[in-house]
Amino acid sequence: MDKEKILINSSEMYAIIERMTFQIIEKVIDYDNTYIVGIRRRGEYIANRIIDSISRNNKKPLKSGVLDITLYRDDLSEIANMPEVKSSNIGFDVNGKTIILVDDVLFTGRTVRSAIDALLDYGRPSKIMLAVIVDRGHKELPIHADFTGKHIPTRKSEVIHVKVKEIDNVDDDCVTISDREA
């Protein structure tokens, strides 16, 4: 595969987020004690879309936060010489709360493990759930998503990108696949 191929277009992304929203609405019992936390970067924007959809469909929005996991990653030395650390925005007490972590792609599970470590530094939630747009398989840790947009089996040499308008210079949200850069 020489270049990127679109796997999920914008209308399919919208449908996926709507479906995930209804799954979340079905599972959430206590809206006052459930929070959606996006994993910076793309998880933050996907979380916002889910929150907007919940507000449209349920009329009772969930509170939210953003989690930067840069310093918790176990591959920090591999991703950049000087990684850009942004702030987290967890403006609520996580103790005893249900937290729905949101990320773009579930691959090995290491990003989610880092997010859980970062979240636990804020306190002890009663429950942590996970929502992802794409689950690729290839897990190295016993982590699974509670809400999955789409399972897309891939080769390890392939890269799945969830692209969002806010940061990826695209007109519409989409999911692409390409070969890993050498």
In this predicted structure, what is the pLDDT of residue 70?
84
Judged against a pLDDT cut of 70, whether residue 38 lies above it is answered with yes
For helices 42-58 and 10-27, the axis angle rounded to 10 degrees is: 60
In this predicted structure, what is the pLDDT of residue 182?
43
In this predicted structure, what is the pLDDT of residue 62?
87
β-bridge mates for residue 138, sequence order:
none
Q: What phi-psi label fits residue 170: left (phi over 0), alpha (psi between -120 and 50 degrees) or beta?
A: beta
- Quote the pTM value: 0.90
Domains of the chain: 11-73+86-154 (3.40.50.2020)
Mean pLDDT for all residues in the chain:
91
Q: List, as one string, the DSSP characters of 31-87.
A: GGGEEEEEETTHHHHHHHHHHHHHHHHHSSPPEEEEE--GGG-TTHHHH-SS-----
Overall average pLDDT of the 162-169 stretch: 96
